[in-house]
Structure 1
Amino acid sequence: MFGAIAGDVIGSVYERNNVKTKTFALFDAASRFTDDTVLTVAVARALLHGESPGRAMREMHGLYPEAGFGPTFRAWIEAGDGAAPPMSASNGAAMRISPVGWACATLDEVMDTAERFTVVTHDHPEGVKGAQATAAAVFLARQGAGKDALRDHVERVFGYDLSVALDQVRPGYAFDLSCAGTVPHAIRAFLEAHDFEDAVRNAVSIGGDSDTLAAIAGAIAEAHWGGVPAPIAQAVWERLDAPLREITQRFCAAYALPFTGGAASSAASG
């Protein structure tokens, strides 16, 4: 969950200024959290409190209306309570869903919860699939599944092709807001990595929707490698405000997430 936030913050400055290399600064003065973080925290809040995910997302949007929400999500907000969910297949379904992979006890529960939290704003089969694949990958990684087992499960259950190397994808990859054009590459970024930082660098180096690619890859990498490295965790923590920190801290404590290093570690341990 915090890995998704870290990926979002790191990728934030490259979303509209793509890089096609793994050699880039992880942080600069403009690095910030975006709607990816806000909605990830909203999902975490809903899971903690047993509240409606729609309510949590609406209220968190109200706190951060300028965080960079997409037009379909903003239209859903403006339509008000009771509005029909849009038939969206965008990658917003996947970038926010990682807390489900930590809060659920079985894969069946992951699948059901990911769908329930997704159809509120992404009532399209491809949106649901992207969210379920991401949440399942986080769940399997935190349960100790190896990369081969994780890849085989995602390919078999969700039909994504994870065999395409990033070196083949990177040159021609352009901005793609769909789950189908984002989730497989983000998972591949994790599969090719040797540690958390490498996974995020892989994701950003693809180009396109960099913060969302990095949020998805970072969420899986956190679960696989047992947390976010301390220097990265501290730099990300410093860029969050008090409400985001408070919910993140409580979620990590409630579900025993490996919160590592610096200010983030100190805050999470109370």
Structure 2
Amino acid sequence: MLGAIIGDVVGSRFEFNNHRSKEFDLFGKGCFATDDSIMTLAVAKAIMETQRAAAYMSENSGGAAAFRALLGENTVRCMQDIGRHYPNCGYGGRFHQWMFSDNPQPYQSFGNGAAMRVSPVGFAARDAEEALFLAEAVTAVTHNHPEGIKGAKAAAAAIYMARTGADRREIKEYIERNYYPLDFSINGIRDSYRFNETCQETVPQAIECFLESTSFEDAIRTAISLGGDSDTVGAITGAIAEAYYGVPDWMQTQALSYLDERMRAVYDAWQEMYGAPREIFCVLTKYIDKFAEMERSENSVRVHEGETPATRFSGSITVFEDEFYAFTKEYPAYHLTNYADILESHGIEWSERDVSAADVGKMDAQSVFALITGAVRAEHLCGGVLKTFFEDGAMLKWLQRLREIDAASHAQNV
């Protein structure tokens, strides 16, 4: 959810004055939390209140149907209770009428407001099916047009997948199979893309901004550089990017300064209920779960029509390699040109056998990165080496050590 707030705040000053470049100050004069942030927080509050109530609902109280009805009622109430305090935050005309109506009813909208406020769903959902269920429930109270529901579901699905370990290629495939073609690039559409408030012309573009990114900050910069409805594109992109990369601490602190006491109280409650410790290495350690159960047998790899298990396996490793390089660019301390010297200090000579057998139990992060760097560099000299390190379990061992370092760091900060 924080990623959506950041994307909104950063994009707020560019909504009607587009900046089609990645070069700009992220936070500056004119930035503020628009309706995107406010309604995102309202949806978050509705989800929290519904989940608390659900804990007291009996199994015979109507099940999913009763839960959905309650969530819908709470969404309307929370959106109005919070939203009426900010009448000039940027509501569209029809939504403004809904906001201040004594009898608010859905109005067949397919505006991008459906997707800009849905991010709490992707973080609260316990499985993919629940993400889609919740997305429709919180959206249909206003945006009950099929395209509005579609946009919200697509955004929620992308966020849920990013949070639970899918890589960029898998997210792209899922969105293309179920929601929108992503047969364009941001560079290819930037000059012609114009302000548009529909889901159809905002959600796929925002998802593509994330797919082309190399870090959370790069995702936000890419979204703003596209132009159009900048705060909403930024909010949707930022939510997915947060789930995938996490948010840098300095950016979190800066963004939260734009929330007043009322909004901050909702955010803090959400963090207490759904917040998870930020893992610095999560963009890489998600591959532990992705490959841990992947055996050499062809039957162990899920594939899509026209794709073999071998190409699926190799394709995921290629994405890992790309993300490794992107991570070391984002965190220069791990961009190691002296990896061989670091390994030598641990008594490890570079050979496939010695590196695979290395005891990483007490290694620090930089030393583990030396092992991974060596493996990635070796891939360029002898194709297939990186695949071998995954298959023999060495890479998973190294990544597991990074996860342990993340966990230890969090424990020290609690």
Check whether TM > 0.5: yes
SS at match of 1:26: coil
The equivalent residue for 1:182 is 202
**Is 1:74 aligned to residue 111 of structure 2?**
no
Deviation at 1:54, TM superposition (A): 0.7
**Is 1:27 aligned to residue 27 of structure 2?**
yes
Aligned residues between the structures: 260
Deviation at 1:63, TM superposition (A): 1.7
Deviation at 1:77, TM superposition (A): 2.2
- The structure 1 segments of at least 4 consecutive aligned residues displaced by more than 2 Å after TM superposition are 77-81, 256-261
Q: Which residue of 100, 107, 122 corresponds with 2:128?
A: 107
User: Letter of the aligned partner of 2:153 in structure 1?
Assistant: Q
Deviation at 1:259, TM superposition (A): 5.9
User: Letter of the aligned partner of 2:101 in structure 1?
Assistant: A
In 2, Cα distance between equivalents of 1:27 and 1:207: 17
The equivalent residue for 1:165 is 185
The equivalent residue for 1:241 is 260
Q: Which residue of 236, 239, 253 corresponds with 1:219?
A: 239
Deviation at 1:145, TM superposition (A): 0.4
Describe the superposition over 1:212-254 as per-residue Cα deviations: whole angstroms up to 9, x where unpaired. Answer: 00000000000001x2111211111111111111111111221
Describe the superposition over 1:127-158 as per-residue Cα deviations: whole angstroms up to 9, x where unpaired. Answer: 00000000111100000100011111111111
Describe the superposition over 1:10-64 as per-residue Cα deviations: whole angstroms up to 9, x where unpaired. Answer: 0000001101111111111221100000000000000111151011111111121
User: Letter of the aligned partner of 1:12 in structure 2?
Assistant: S
SS at match of 2:20: coil
TM-score of the aligned structures, taking structure 1 as reference length: 0.93
In 2, Cα distance between equivalents of 1:199 and 1:17: 19
Q: Highest CA radius of gyration, 1 or 2? A: 2
In 1, Cα distance between equivalents of 2:142 and 2:278: 29
Distance 1:200 1:258, change over 3 A: farther
In percent, how many aligned pairs have the same letter? Answer: 43
The equivalent residue for 1:131 is 152
For the 8 Å contact 2:84–2:100, the answer to whether it is kept is no
The equivalent residue for 1:266 is none
In 2, Cα distance between equivalents of 1:73 and 1:33: 17
In 2, Cα distance between equivalents of 1:170 and 1:39: 28
In 1, Cα distance between equivalents of 2:199 and 2:169: 22
Deviation at 1:177, TM superposition (A): 0.2
For the 8 Å contact 1:41–1:248, the answer to whether it is kept is yes
Describe the superposition over 1:75-128 as per-residue Cα deviations: whole angstroms up to 9, x where unpaired. Answer: 2123322x4311100000000000000111111111111001101010100000
User: Letter of the aligned partner of 2:84 in structure 1?
Assistant: G
Distance 1:258 1:92, change over 3 A: farther
For the 8 Å contact 1:115–1:128, the answer to whether it is kept is yes
Q: Which residue of 275, 282, 297 corresponds with 1:256?
A: 275
In 2, Cα distance between equivalents of 1:260 and 1:145: 16
In 1, Cα distance between equivalents of 2:28 and 2:83: 25
Q: Which residue of 235, 244, 247 corresponds with 1:228?
A: 247
User: Letter of the aligned partner of 1:235 in structure 2?
Assistant: Q
Counterparts of 1:139-158 in structure 2 under 5 Å?
Answer: 139-158=160-179
For the 8 Å contact 1:14–1:204, the answer to whether it is kept is yes
Unaligned runs of 5+ in 1: 262-268
In 2, Cα distance between equivalents of 1:257 and 1:217: 20
Unaligned runs of 5+ in 2: 51-70, 281-412
User: Letter of the aligned partner of 2:99 in structure 1?
Assistant: I
In 2, Cα distance between equivalents of 1:211 and 1:32: 10
Alignment RMSD:
1.6
User: Letter of the aligned partner of 1:198 in structure 2?
Assistant: D
TM-score of the aligned structures, taking structure 2 as reference length: 0.61
User: Letter of the aligned partner of 1:155 in structure 2?
Assistant: E
In 2, Cα distance between equivalents of 1:142 and 1:32: 27
